[in-house]
């Protein structure tokens, strides 16, 4: 069994700031660093480092070679990534002194996948293989349709949330990994986290759901059980890719036969290590570090 992550690849430009810049304001940054990133790339690296055979598909431009190298070093198969003329996707990230961030995306080659390319990529996968998706590339609905026809297990992290999500065949999703804001966008606001989780479960009764709640940890729910997983408290350096690390280690754990409880605990540990280090992809630990 292997996993295909059809997802974004970004170059992250990370600016240290005293506060996030406001409308009409100009501020100077304290420093600037460049990291490999993109929710897709980060999740592929987390999947591979968790110990599963991971294939990444997507597209980079002329400036994207470094991203392919980064994935290969982490053990991700990058042969299915297209190389296109033009610019690779990038992210402008402001990081404040508490390690929180805000992110502006430029799609670049992440938005230039074609149906023909999707068909070519999916030829390499079959029933029982996992497909992991986020929402930073185009043609997601088509990828889901084709993967469903093949009997692949579909994982969706609907991030960043936008109006396109509702156009995808969401009933095909086997695992949702989403945060409170994304859950509210899908199911409407609720008074409590429990009600919100139940609302997602009611809307997608066939799916297994992981709701991440920031400082409050995360909750897993399927038709048989509910598992609450607190965070592991660490000094926070940079929260970028914490969610991606969680997703990669949770799904990687499930693929390797862990129970949802074990996979949740490992995912929480891995993401606590990631927030204690700077950058997106470089902050993701190997399984042995857990």
Q: Which residues bind ligand RIB (CB under 6 A)?
A: 8, 10, 12, 37-39, 42, 91, 103, 136, 240-241, 243-244, 280
Phi/psi at 191 (nearest 5 deg)? Answer: -65, -45
CB of 58 to ligand RIB, least distance (A): 12
Enter the tokens of residue 97.
Answer: 């002194």
Instruction: Report CA dihedral (187, 214, 270, 275) to the nearest 10 degrees.
Output: 130
Residue with tokens 């857990």: 290
Tell the smallest beta-carbon distance from residue 45 to ligand RIB (Å).
10
Instruction: Give the nearest distance from C-beta 225 to ligand RIB in angstroms.
Output: 28
Looking at the Cβ atoms of 207 and 239, the one nearer to ligand RIB is 239
Q: Tokens 């070519």: give the residue.
A: 120
Smallest gap from Cβ 35 to ligand RIB, in A, equals 7
Q: How far is the CB of 257 from ligand RIB (least distance, A)?
A: 27
CB nearer ligand RIB, residue 243 or residue 260 = 243
> Which CB sits closer to ligand RIB, 134 or 201?
134
Nearer to ligand RIB, 199 or 237 (CB): 237
> Which of these is catalytic: 12, 129, 238, 244?
244
Choice between 8 and 207, CB closer to ligand RIB: 8
Distance CA 84, CA 61 (A): 5
Closest to 43 measured CA to CA, from 181, 177, 184: 177
Sheet holding 10-16, edge to edge: 31-37, 10-16, 89-95, 101-106
Question: Which residues partner with 102 through β-bridges?
Answer: 94
Query: In the chain, which ranges are E strands?
Result: 3-6, 10-16, 31-37, 54-60, 77-83, 89-95, 101-106, 130-133, 153-156, 175-179, 208-212, 218-221, 226-229
| 222 has catalytic annotation | no
216 DSSP 8-state letter = G
**Residue number of the CB atom closest to ligand RIB:** 37
Q: Pairing mode, if any, of strands 54-60 and 77-83? A: parallel
- For the annotated catalytic residues, the residue numbers are 244
């Amino acid at each position: 069994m292997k996993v295909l992550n059809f997802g974004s690849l970004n170059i992250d430009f990370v600016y240290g700031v005293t506060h996030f810049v406001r409308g009409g304001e100009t501020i100077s940054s304290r420093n600037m660093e460049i990291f490999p990133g993109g929710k897709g790339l980060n999740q592929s690296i987390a999947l591979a480092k968790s110990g599963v055979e991971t294939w990444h598909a997507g597209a980079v431009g002329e400036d994207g070679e470094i991203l392919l190298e980064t994935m290969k070093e982490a053990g991700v198969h990058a042969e299915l990534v297209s190389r296109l003329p033009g610019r690779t996707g990038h992210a402008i990230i402001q990081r404040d002194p508490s390690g929180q961030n805000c992110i502006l995306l430029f799609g670049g080659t992440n938005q230039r996948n074609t149906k023909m390319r999707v068909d070519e990529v999916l030829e390499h996968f079959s029933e029982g293989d996992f497909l992991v998706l986020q929402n930073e590339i185009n043609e997601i609905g088509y990828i889901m349709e084709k993967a469903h026809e093949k009997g692949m297990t579909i994982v969706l992290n609907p991030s960043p949330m936008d109006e396109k999500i509702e156009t995808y065949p969401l009933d095909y999703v086997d695992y949702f990994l989403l945060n409170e804001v994304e859950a509210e966008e899908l199911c409407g606001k609720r008074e409590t986290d429990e009600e919100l989780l139940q609302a997602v479960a009611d809307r997608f009764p066939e799916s297994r759901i992981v709701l991440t709640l920031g400082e409050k940890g995360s909750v897993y729910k399927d038709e048989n059980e509910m598992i609450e997983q607190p965070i592991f408290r660490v000094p926070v350096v940079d929260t970028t890719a914490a969610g991606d690390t969680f997703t990669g280690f949770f799904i990687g754990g499930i693929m390797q036969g862990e129970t949802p409880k074990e996979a949740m605990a490992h995912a929480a540990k891995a993401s606590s290590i990631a927030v204690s280090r700077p950058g997106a992809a470089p902050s993701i630990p190997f399984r042995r570090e857990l």
